[in-house]
Amino acid sequence: MCDTPAVIYLLAGVTAAGKSKISLKWAQQIGGEILSCDSVAVYRGMDIGSAKPSIPERQEVPHYGIDLVEVNEVFSVADYQVYIKKTVEEMKAKKKPIVVAGGSGFYLQSFLSPVVDDIEVSGDIRGQVEELYSRKDLDGILFELKKLNPDGLGEMDTLNPRRVMRGLERCLASGKSILELKNEFEKKPNPFPEFEKQVLWLDRENEDLERRISDRSQKMLEGGLLRETEDLLCAGIAGNAPASNAVGYRECIAHLKGVLPEEQLLEAINYSTRRLVSKQRKWFRKHLGESARFVMDQSFEADDPGQLNWIRHS
- 3-class SS letters over 236-274: CHHHCHHHHCCCCHHHHHHHHCCCCCHHHHHHHHHHHHH
Report CA dihedral (94, 99, 102, 105) to the nearest 10 degrees: 90
3-class DSSP state of 110: coil
Give the per-residue pLDDT at 298.
74
Q: Residue 101: which of 78, 117, 84, 77 has the closest Cα?
A: 84
Give the per-residue pLDDT at 115.
86
Global pTM reads: 0.85
Domains of the chain, CATH where assigned: 7-114+192-313 (3.40.50.300), 123-186 (1.10.20.140)
Give the per-residue pLDDT at 2.
42
pLDDT digits (tens, 9 = 90+) for 255-297: 999 999 999 999 999 999 999 999 999 999 999 999 999 998 7
Question: From CA 126, how far away is CA 172, in angstroms rounded?
Answer: 10
Give the per-residue pLDDT at 308.
78
Which amino acid does the sequence have at 185? F
pLDDT < 50 positions in the chain: 1-2
